[in-house]
Amino acid sequence: MSVLYSLRSDQYDDISGQWEKAFIEFAKGYSSSEIKLTFFTSNTLDQDFVDIVLFTIPLLIQACLVLTVFSVLSCTMFDWVASKPVLATLGVVSAVLAVGSSFGLLLFCGVPFTHLVIGMPFLTIGVGVDDMFIMIASWRSTSPHLSVRDRLGKTFSEAALSITITSITDALAFGIGAISNFPSVRIFCCYCGVAIVFDYIYQVTFFGGCMALIGRREKQNRHCVTFRKVVSKKEAPSSIYKLFCAGGVSRMPKNYENKTSEHIVMRIFKEYYGPLLTKRWFKVLTLFLYLGYIGVAIFGCLQLSEGIDTKQLALDDSYSVQYYEDERTPFQEYGPVVQVVITTPQNYSDTRVQTEITNVLENLQSTTFFHNATSQSTKCWLLDYLQFLNQTNLSYNSEHSFIYHLRNNFSMIPLYEHYRLDVVYSTDDMTIESSRCLVTSRHIANATVERKREFMDNCRQTVDASWIPMLAYHPSFIFDDHFAAILPSTIQNVLIAAVGMLFVSLLLIPQPICGLYVTISITSIIVGVIGFMALWDVGLDFVSMIIIVVCIGFSVDYTAHVAYVFVISQRDSRNERAIESLHLLGLPILQSVFSTIIAVSLISTSKTYVFRNIFKEVFLGILFGGIHGLLFLPVLLSSIGPSKRADNKVHVLQIKVLPAKN
């Protein structure tokens, strides 16, 4: 049995809300061996959204702590002077400050906060940490014997372009999402885009200043933890001192070194992985691996489903989930109750108006989507009122008398008093401003997405054909509209993002053919994300649509930089330039992949379908982006990349730090 209670609104909102709270407390505490009770109220979904935010905040704190630990470990080496655990921590702080600034600015400007926005820090903090790794990698490539000012200038000269392009592509991806047809997506992307801008500002200001301070510590050959002066490993007085204290470069002429210790991962890329990648048999193996990847991805794309279920918006342990299940199983014969609303004042005493409204209701009932007239599932005040007048021999000769009997006779009978909610009178009670009738559908609750869309279109087309202004409405139409718009919106956003990223790639990479390779890589990554997410039980909905666009921005970060370094390399052969690209960018890409995955990994434990899907898509996008940047694209460039020419001119962004004037 299903029972529906309609609560009064307007001046009774507070009382109705208190009734709902009392009912929920009663229903949660009710238990019976004979009766199973499931329930749902008008505020259930809103409360679920609040619970999602409260549940996610501790996960965000844990993600920041885990990301800090990872950053510290990845920036720590056996050289205790060149290691930068404090700077790594400040890099995470910089990203967190960007998130806080985004929240503060947009909330101050009146931008609404939705439950989706709580997922924003997981994405943007990861991006901020990625920029930190690029800055530190550029610092490591400079000579330790330069002054701090010169090292910082060279660092910004090499890293400024990378983090600028990264910020532009990510902000562009979120900017495209900000013009979406879905308000919640627009709000989410607005918060993310502003956070990316703040992150860029903090990277070149706050974090740059932190690098200068840490650079002074390194210049003075001080320990990265104790900040006490130490000697280089060659000058270490004992093995224990060498293991836990020594580092930096010697200032003695006989021990003079031009470079600080190189990270072990960079040596692995240069001496082992890079040369392996240039072997012919390895390239053939990579080709077959790629063909398998793209084949599975295309197969997955063909299995992609559309839409999102209402219960998937709630928490997994919400009482509403069981209600949705029970509503669709024993009561699938009865679907959504569609409201047919007459939106303008009409003279309902006119027989033409009465006939037109009756015809509209009969037209709806004549379709397979609704119960027929004999089932008495249609509830319309006008039909019952006309029957009441006929049975009681009451008559009317004007609109005034029609309304008088309606208000003072018909609506006063307990059997019909519920119709008071279906009629809105003018302030002088002389006319009816608007009214509604309720028509019950059938076999829609468990219908396919296409069937639900056809049902919604049929309802709207039927009422639109009337000469009386009407609309057909049910809350589920919000999701049905989403079903209708999601695929065109996704295609549009992906095409806009792809063109934008191609433009950025052409600006970044002097060789147009490499820009084409990057575009092909981006397309391959997106096909992989869509295909594998379908195989991972993720459908195409308003959330996955924008994450796909965001993955385009992430994919540029991994592929464009590799192609750029390949082009500007001064090495002679393609293989040597591919090895140099991996030597310089392999570590930052690995750090970026792991840091972003770590940042979003904790939301995989979320109790809501939406956030778990965000993790799945971001994980796939980052994983495939890293694989393309470290494997597929280097193999492609080393095989058919542009050959080096003597007349190549590459424009590199240069930043010079000038000494301050006295």
Residue 123 CB contacts under 8 Å (≥ 6 apart), including other chains: 192, 550, 596, 599, 600, 618
CA–CA distance, 7 with 45 (Å, rounded to integer): 17
Cα distances (angstroms) measured from residue 642 to each of 7, 270, 570: 71, 21, 13
Q: What is the pLDDT of residues 26-66, one digit of tens each?
A: 877 877 777 777 877 777 777 777 888 888 888 889 889 99
Please, which pLDDT band fits residue 331 given cuts at 50, 70 and 90?
low
530 contact partners, CB below 8 Å, separation of at least 6: 297, 300, 301, 304, 540, 548
Write out the H or E segment, with its range, that includes residue 370: none
Q: Is residue 254 over pLDDT 70?
A: no
Sign of dihedral through CA atoms 38, 41, 43, 46? Answer: positive
Give the tokens for residue 63: 């993600």
Region 361-380: mean pLDDT is: 80
Question: How many CB atoms within 10 Å of residue 423?
Answer: 21
DSSP string for 139-190: HHTS-TTS-HHHHHHHHHHHHHHHHHHHHHHHHHHHHHHTT-S-HHHHHHHH
CB 6 within 8 A of CB 19: no
pLDDT on residue 464: 92
Q: List Cα–Cα distances, 409 to 417, 421, 424, in angstroms.
A: 10, 16, 17
Q: Is the pLDDT of residue 651 over 50?
A: no
Phi/psi of residue 439, each to 5°?
-125, 125
Cα 168 vs. chain centroid, distance in angstroms?
A: 17
What is the share, in percent, of the chain residues with pLDDT greater than 90?
Answer: 26
Query: According to the model, what pLDDT value does residue 375 have?
Result: 60
Place of tokens 């027929």: 372
Better-scored residue on pLDDT, 302 or 499: 302
138, 87, 118: which is closest to 195 by C-alpha? Answer: 118
pLDDT of 649 over the 80 cut: no
pLDDT, residue 644, reads 62
Q: Residue 200's pLDDT band (boundaries 50, 70, 90)?
A: very high
Checking if the pLDDT of 485 tops 80, the result is no
Q: Is the pLDDT of residue 648 over 50?
A: no
Instruction: Find out whether 207 and 135 touch, Cβ atoms under 8 Å.
Output: yes
The yes-or-no verdict on residue 191 having pLDDT over 60 is yes
Mean pLDDT of 540-550: 82
CA distance 190 to 201: 17
pLDDT tier at 256 (50, 70, 90 boundaries)?
Answer: very low
Using pLDDT thresholds of 50, 70 and 90, give the confidence band for residue 650. Answer: very low
What residue type is assigned to position 477 of the chain?
A: F
Helices 208-219 and 148-177, packing angle to 10 deg: 150
Q: Write down the pLDDT at residue 654.
A: 41
10 falls in which pLDDT band (50, 70, 90)?
A: low
**64 burial type by CB count under 10 A (0-12 exposed, 13-18 middle, 19+ buried):** buried
Mean pLDDT of 515-528: 87
Burial environment of residue 348 by CB neighbours within 10 A (0 to 12, 13 to 18, 19 or more)? buried
Could you report the per-residue pLDDT of 280-293, keeping only the tens digit for each? 999 999 999 999 99
Q: How would you label 324-338 residue by residue, b for 16+ Cβ within 10 Å and e otherwise?
A: bebbeeeeeebbbeb
3-state secondary structure 381-439: HHHHHHHHHHHHCCCCCCHHHHHHHHHHHHCCCCCCHHHHHHEEECCCCCCEEEEEEEE
- Which residues pair with residue 608 across a beta bridge? 315
Distance CA 122, CA 64 (A): 9
Report the pLDDT value the prediction gives residue 309, as an integer from 0 to 100. 72
Tokens matching residue 56: 């996610």
More confident residue, 176 or 331: 176
- pLDDT over threshold 50, residue 662: no
Cα dihedral 404/407/411/417 (nearest 10) = 170
pLDDT at 583: 87
- Evaluate whether 172 touches 497 at the Cβ level (below 8 Å): yes
- DSSP-derived letter for residue 41 is -
User: Which residue type does 536 have?
Assistant: W
Q: Residue 4 pLDDT more than 80?
A: no
The pLDDT confidence band at residue 100, using thresholds 50, 70 and 90, is very high
DSSP β-bridge partners for residue 650: none
Query: In 316-380, which residue ranges form alpha helices assigned H by DSSP?
Result: 319-328, 351-365
pLDDT band per the 50, 70, 90 thresholds, residue 646: very low
Q: Looking at residue 348, what is its pLDDT?
A: 92
Residue bearing the bigger pLDDT, 533 or 78: 533
pLDDT of 255 higher than 60: no
Long-range contacts at 42-45 (CB < 8 A, ≥ 24 apart): 42/7, 43/17, 44/314, 44/318, 44/319, 44/320, 45/310, 45/313, 45/314, 45/320
pLDDT confidence of residue 195: 93
Question: What average pLDDT does range 512-518 have in this prediction?
Answer: 79
- Contact at 8 Å (CB) between 127 and 67? no
φ, ψ dihedrals at 432, nearest 5°:
-100, 115
Residue of higher predicted confidence among 77 and 533: 533
- Provide the pLDDT confidence category of residue 109 given band limits of 50, 70 and 90: very high
Mean pLDDT, rounded, for 325-329: 67
**DSSP-based three-state secondary structure for 468:** coil
State percent of the chain over pLDDT 70: 90
Measured CA to CA in angstroms, residue 228 lies from 80, 175, 213, 221, 231 at distances of 11, 47, 15, 8, 10
pLDDT higher than threshold 90 for residue 198: yes
Through-space distance between the first and last CA atoms of the chain, rounded to whole angstroms: 86
CB 403 within 8 A of CB 347: no
Phi and psi, residue 91, nearest 5°? -65, -40
Residue 67 and residue 125 in contact, taking contact as beta carbons nearer than 8 Å: yes
DSSP 117: G
pTM for this entry: 0.78
Average pLDDT, the chain: 83
Measure Cα distances from 78 to 64, 145, 589, 592 in Å: 25, 19, 21, 21
**How large is the average pLDDT for residues 136-151?**
86
Q: Which residues contact 651 (CB under 8 A, 6 or more apart)?
A: 510
* The pLDDT of residue 158: 74
Report how far Cα 160 is from the mean position of its chain's Cα atoms: 27
Of the candidate ranges 248-262, 501-515, 518-532, the one whose mean pLDDT is the lowest:
248-262
Instruction: State the pLDDT at residue 119.
Output: 85
Mean pLDDT confidence for 388-415: 89
- Cα separation of 630 and 269, whole Å? 10
Q: Tell me what the mean pLDDT of segment 311-336 comes to.
A: 71
pLDDT classification of 656: cutoffs 50, 70, 90: very low
**Concatenated DSSP letters of 94-106:** HHHHHHHHHHHHH
Most confident of 250-259, 308-317, 324-333, 412-421: 412-421
Q: Which two tokens stand for residue 587?
A: 């570590």
Average pLDDT over residues 112-130: 86
